[in-house]
Every structure is written in C-alpha cells, then in structure tokens.
Structure 1
Amino acid sequence: MKLIYIGHSALYFDGETKILVDPFISDNPWVKNDNYDFYPDYIFLSHGHGDHLGDTFDIAKRSGATVVAPFELAQYCIQHGIKAHPMHIGGKFNFDFGWIKLTNALHGSGLITDNEIIYLGNPCGFLWETENKRFYYAGDTGLTMDMKLLKDYKIDYAFLPIGGNFTMDVDDALKAAEFISPKTVIPIHFNTFDVIKSSPEEFVEKIKHRGMNSIYLKPGTEIEI
C-alpha cells in the first residue's frame, strides 16, 4: 500500500482499496500541483470545515467514491448529489475493504457561506482496518482521555495534529501518542497557516525519546506502508 501525504491533513491510501482522507487540495498552499489524479473508492470526511471538506464534491462526482462521514455531514453530501454512508461517534461498520469506527474529536464542524454558517454536526476521527493494518486518523481534535481506549486496538499508524490553536500542539500530541501507543506516529495539520506554526522535527525527535517510532512526511511525500 502506498501512502501519499498531500499536505495539511489530506492523505491518500493507494492499495487494494483507494481511500482519500479530508481532501483539501486545490486551495491548499502546500500543493504545488493541484492536478492530482485521484479516483478513490472511499473518501473519509472528518468534519465540514473548508480545509477538510476541500475538494470532496469534485472528486466524489468524478470518481463515484462513497463519502464516509458523521450523519449530518453525510446528509449534506447526499443533498449535493454525492454518494455517502452516514455514521456517528462510536459506530462501527464493515465495508468491502475492512471495518471502520468513528472516534470522538473535540472540535467543530460547519461551513461559512456568504450569508450564514451551516452547522454540519459533530466532527470525528477514524479508526479502521484494511489489508491487515490498523490506522487511526485523529482529525482536528484536542487531547482527550478517550484516546486511552485506542491502545487496545494495537494501531499500526496514527495520524495526529500538532499545530495547536485549533487542535493539539506538539506537547498534547506527544501525550496522545503515549495514550494510544501506536507502532508509528505521523504528524499532520501544521504550518499550513501562520496560526498553526509548529515543528514536526521537534515532534519526531521527542517521540523517539519516548521509545516510539515517528515519521515526518513533507507535503507531497509518498511512502510504502
């Protein structure tokens, strides 16, 4: 399976099933080439803020992908002609690629239009298994004791925000990693905007001092996992 870190919180898993997570691409300042030719089978959408909803509609319509999202956000997608599978926090479902469970995220979810703010329900994180690997994508969240419950899942890869202000910062993400105890931690949601300036190098170094593995992926990096 290949993993492409697009930048910010956008990830693409290119395996037997192609999964795109929070596809903030065309307006993402990290993306040098917005002509990513993504044809995912599924799009995991953690919440409705523009830097996560991103290009979901365009990509889903082009590819026929199914959006997996919390109920209100999934219904919003359906209203715009997108195929979606609604779920909610704590819910687990078996798909053709494996299983997925929605986890708690301490954040918000909504879109700002010219005339109003559209509320789109609760945000979430994603815990899933595919091709005998387990992944945890925290989404935009603060540190929560709920993360301790994830340790029993023996997660292979955890994706944690480190930018602060809207989410965990480096110190809180380190604590989250201690709670979760995954095999590998990959930092996300940093340096896209001035308000979330952070140091992924510092995070990776501190993680290793705690006896865990971490990989700093620069936007656009592709690795085998």
Structure 2
Amino acid sequence: MRIEFLGHASFLLEDAQTKILIDPFLTGNPLASKQAGEVEADFILVSHGHHDHVGDAVEIAKRTGAVICTTVEVARELFEPEGLEVLAGNIGGKLPTTFGSIKLVSAQHGSGVTGGLACGFVVEMDGRKVYHAGDTGLFAEMQFLKDEGLDVALLPIGDYYTMGPADAVKAVEMIRPQVVIPMHFNTFPAIKQDPLKFKKAVEAQDLSRVVVLEPGKSFEL
C-alpha cells in the first residue's frame, strides 16, 4: 500500500487494485504536486465542503468515473446535482467497498454546507488502517480511535483553521498510530509551520514515528 502526499490535505492511497483520492485540492493550490488532469481515482473522499478540500473532486470524478464518498448533506449539496455516483454516510457509519471499508468519524470543524457535518475517515485497505482527520481541532473523543489499531494517521498541524502542532501532539498521544504524516500546513501564510519541530516533539515522547512528506513524495506500508 502506498500513500502519496499531493499537498495541503490531499493524498492518494493505492494498492494493486484501487486508487483512493482524498480532499483533492489541486487547482489553485500553490504546493500541489499534480494537476487535476493527471490524477486517476476509483474513489474520492471529501471530508467537508470547503473549497480547499472539495477542490477538483467534481472534475476528476466526471473524468474517471470515481465514486465520491462523503457525508449525506455534502453529497446532496455538491455532488448529486452534478450527476455523480455517490456513496454517502454519516458519522460513525462504515461504508463497505470493494477494497475494504471507509468509516466516517467526527471532526470538529465547519462543514461548508448548511446543516452538514465535517468528518474524518478511517480507511481500511489491503489489511491496513489509515486515518485522515480532515480539518479538525483537538477533541476528547479522539481517544476512541486508539481502539482502531491505526497504522497511519494523517493529521493537520497548521493551526489557525485546525489543530496546531501542540494539539496535534496531544492527538497522537490519544490515538497512538504506528506512523503519523502531518498535513494542512504551509499552503498559505496563515498556516505556516515547521513539520520537523512537530516530528521532534512526537518522537521525543516515543508516541509514534513521524514521516514528513514533501508534495509528490510517498510512503509505503
């Protein structure tokens, strides 16, 4: 299983059969490693309705035929009117898929859609579990994710709109993944952070291994 960082909060997860694209903000992203037309996907996961997470989801889904996975309200507002195939659930629900499953989990953040909820995802693929936190602040219920036995956690560290580095360290302590990959930093001046300081803080407490990826680089499980 390979995890490629495309910039901001966008990742491509793939095994031999399936490509899963998450929060594909590529057009307009100064740090994006790919253009929207270069990305292939079987599934597109969208954590909430803000532009820097919806990104190019509609364009990519129309071109590739990918299924969009998100919450019900975000699906109804943004994707169903476009005639796209949607797999919509809600917080706590697990969506069965051809590759494994996608569990929608809480995120403390605005949804970008009236009446909707932001979410994160626990993706089970190729026998591994990857948690994409979406945009979120730190919240107590994160502790229950420890029971998932996470292989990898993709966590925001940018502050301002999401957790900052200090709270992200607390999140790692709660969920105890094997590996942490920081995201949602340095795209804009407001979220400027040094990911190596976050790495040092986590590893100094022996909480997890931190892998800092530049856009376009990947990590293999």
The reply to whether TM is greater than 0.5 is: yes
1:26 Cα deviation (Å)? 1.2
Report the TM-score when normalising by structure 2.
Answer: 0.95
- Partners of 1:8 and 1:218 lie apart in 2 by 10
1:45 Cα deviation (Å)? 0.4
Residues 36/205 of structure 1: CA separation in 2 closer, same or farther (3 Å cut): farther
Aligned to 2:219: 223
Alignment partner of 1:209 is 2:210? no
Alignment partner of 1:149 is 2:151? no
* Per-residue CA distance 1:190-225 (angstroms, 9 max, x = gap): 010111111101011111111120100011112322
Alignment partner of 1:79 is 2:74? no
Equivalences for 1:167-206 in 2 at 5 Å?
A: 167-206=162-201
Q: Tell me if the contact between 2:133 and 2:154 (Cα under 8 Å) persists in the aligned partners.
A: yes
Equivalences for 1:51-66 in 2 at 5 Å?
A: 51-66=52-67
The code of the aligned residue for 1:83 comes to E
* Per-residue CA distance 1:9-32 (angstroms, 9 max, x = gap): 000012121100000001111025
Q: Tell me if the contact between 1:162 and 1:188 (Cα under 8 Å) persists in the aligned partners.
A: yes
Aligned to 1:113: none
Q: Tell me if the contact between 1:73 and 1:120 (Cα under 8 Å) persists in the aligned partners.
A: no
Equivalences for 1:39-50 in 2 at 5 Å?
A: 39-50=40-51
* Per-residue CA distance 1:38-61 (angstroms, 9 max, x = gap): 221100100000000000000000
Report the TM-score when normalising by structure 1.
Answer: 0.93
Q: Tell me if the contact between 1:45 and 1:69 (Cα under 8 Å) persists in the aligned partners.
A: yes
The code of the aligned residue for 1:142 comes to G
The code of the aligned residue for 2:154 comes to F
The code of the aligned residue for 1:130 comes to M
Q: Tell me if the contact between 1:48 and 1:120 (Cα under 8 Å) persists in the aligned partners.
A: no
> SS at the partner of 1:201?
helix
1:33 Cα deviation (Å)? 4.6
- Partners of 2:20 and 2:187 lie apart in 1 by 22
1:35 Cα deviation (Å)? 5.5
Q: Tell me if the contact between 1:100 and 1:128 (Cα under 8 Å) persists in the aligned partners.
A: yes
Query: Number of residues paired by the alignment?
Result: 218
* Per-residue CA distance 1:147-169 (angstroms, 9 max, x = gap): 10010111000000000011000
Q: Which moved more, 1:185-194 or 1:91-100?
A: 91-100
- Partners of 2:58 and 2:102 lie apart in 1 by 22
- Partners of 2:130 and 2:219 lie apart in 1 by 15
Aligned to 2:71: 70
Structure 1 counterpart of 2:132, from 132, 137, 140: 137
- Partners of 1:96 and 1:146 lie apart in 2 by 29
- Partners of 2:217 and 2:168 lie apart in 1 by 21
Aligned to 1:37: 38
1:119 Cα deviation (Å)? 2.8
The code of the aligned residue for 1:100 comes to I
Q: Tell me if the contact between 2:107 and 2:134 (Cα under 8 Å) persists in the aligned partners.
A: yes
Q: Tell me if the contact between 2:36 and 2:56 (Cα under 8 Å) persists in the aligned partners.
A: no
Aligned to 1:166: 161
